[in-house]
A and B are shown apart, each in its own frame.
Chain A
Amino acid sequence: MNDSVPVLEVAGLSVELPSGADRKFAIEAMSFQVRPREIVCLVGESGSGKSVAAFTVMGLLPKALRPVAGRIALAGEDLLSAPPERLRDLRGSRMGMIFQEPMTALNPVMTCGAQIDEVLAVHTSLDPAARRARILDIMNQVRLPEPERLIDAYPHQLSGGQRQRIMIAMALVLEPALLIADEPTTALDVTTQAQILELIKDLQRDHATGVLFITHDFGVVAEIAHRVAVMQWGKLVEFGTTEDVLKRPRHPYTKMLISSVPGIVPRHRPRPETARPTVLKTEALGKTYADAAWFRKSRTVKAAESVSIEVRRGETLGIVGESGSGKSTVARCVARLIEPSAGRIWLAGDDIAGLSAGRLRPHRRKIQIVFQDPYRSLNPRRTVGESIVEGPMNYGLGRAEALARARSLMETVRLDPGSLDRYPHQFSGGQRQRICIARALAMEPELLIADEAVSALDVSVQAQVLELLDDIRQKLDLAMLFITHDLRVAAQVCDYVAVMSQGQVVEYGTAPQVFGAPRHDYTKALFAAAPGRNWEFGKFAAG
Chain B
Amino acid sequence: MLAFVVRRLLATVPVLAMVAVFVFLMLRLTPGDPAAVIAGDNAMPDQVEAIRQKLGLDEPIVTQFFIWIGKALQGDFGESFFFKKTVAELIAQRIEPTVALAIVTLLLSVAIAVPLGVIAAYRQDSWVDRTVMAFSVMGFSVPVFVIGYLLIYVFAIQLGVLPVQGYRPIGQGLWPFFERLILPSFTLSVVFVALIARITRASMLEVMNEDYIRTARAKGLPERTVLLRHGLRNAAVPIVTVIGIGLAVLIGGVVVTESVYGIPGLGRLTIDAVLGRDYPTIQAVILLFSFAYVLINLAIDLIYVLLDPRIRY
Contacts and interface: CB of A to CB of B under 8 A. Distances in A.
Interface of A: 58, 60, 88-93, 96-97, 99, 101, 104-110, 118-119, 122-123, 154, 156, 167, 170-171, 295
Contact of B218 (A97, A108, A123): A97
Interface in B193-244: 210-212, 214-222, 225, 229-230, 233-234
Given A97-B218, A154-B309, A154-B310, 18 more contacts: A88-B222, A91-B218, A92-B218, A92-B220, A96-B218, A99-B214, A105-B212, A107-B230, A108-B212, A108-B308, A108-B309, A109-B307, A110-B229, A110-B233, A122-B220, A122-B222, A156-B310, A167-B215
A92 B310 contact: no
A225 B75 CA distance: 77
Interface string B98-113: 0000000000000000
Nearest to B230: A107
B3 interface: yes
A88 B3 CA distance: 47
A60 B217 contact: yes
Nearest to B215: A105
Contacts of B233: 109-110
Contact of B214 (A60, A108, A171): A60
Report the 9 A-B pairs with minimum CB-CB distance, sorted nearest first: A92-B220, A91-B220, A104-B211, A92-B219, A107-B212, A97-B218, A154-B309, A105-B211, A88-B220
Contacts of A109: 233-234, 307-310
Interface size class of B (residues with CB under 8 A): 20 to 34
A236 B212 CA distance: 29
Contacts of B222: 88, 122
Contact of A104 (B212, B225, B307): B212
Nearest to A100: B211
Given A154-B309, A156-B309, A156-B310, A106 B220 contact: no
B221 A106 contact: no
Contacts of A123: 220
A317 B3 CA distance: 50
B164 to A, nearest CB: 46
A90 B221 CA distance: 10
A171 B216 CA distance: 11
Contacts of B219: 91-92, 118-119, 122, 170
Interface of B is mostly: helix
B217 A107 contact: no
B221 A122 contact: yes
Given A101-B211, A154-B310, A156-B309, A108 B234 contact: yes
A107 B233 CA distance: 10
Given A105-B211, A154-B309, A60 B218 contact: yes
Contacts of A171: 218
A85 B138 CA distance: 39
Contacts of A93: 220
Nearest to A114: B229
Nearest to B234: A109
16 contacts: A60-B214, A88-B220, A88-B221, A91-B217, A91-B220, A92-B221, A99-B211, A107-B212, A107-B215, A108-B309, A108-B310, A109-B307, A118-B219, A122-B221, A122-B225, A154-B309
B306 to A, nearest CB: 10
Nearest to A173: B219
B232 to A, nearest CB: 10
Max chain A C-beta neighbours (<10 A), residue from B220, B230, B233: B220
A93 B230 CA distance: 19
A89 B220 contact: yes
A156 B311 CA distance: 11
A258 B215 CA distance: 32
A312 B7 CA distance: 55
A31 B216 CA distance: 28
B115 to A, nearest CB: 20
Contacts of A88: 220-222
Contacts of A96: 218
B309 A90 contact: no
B218 A107 contact: no
B125 to A, nearest CB: 11
A90 B3 contact: no
Contacts of B225: 118, 122
Contacts of B220: 88-93, 119, 122-123
Contacts of A167: 215
B264 to A, nearest CB: 43
Max chain A C-beta neighbours (<10 A), residue from B212, B217, B229: B212
Contacts of B234: 107-109
Contacts of A104: 210-212
A411 B285 CA distance: 73
Max chain B C-beta neighbours (<10 A), residue from A92, A93, A109: A109
A90 B310 CA distance: 33
Contacts of B230: 107, 110
B77 to A, nearest CB: 34
A92 B222 CA distance: 12
A89 B307 CA distance: 30
A90 B308 CA distance: 31
Contacts of A89: 220
Given A60-B217, A91-B219, A106 B212 contact: yes
A107 B216 contact: yes
Nearest to A111: B309
Max chain B C-beta neighbours (<10 A), residue from A88, A156, A171: A88
A10 to B, nearest CB: 18
A99 B308 contact: no
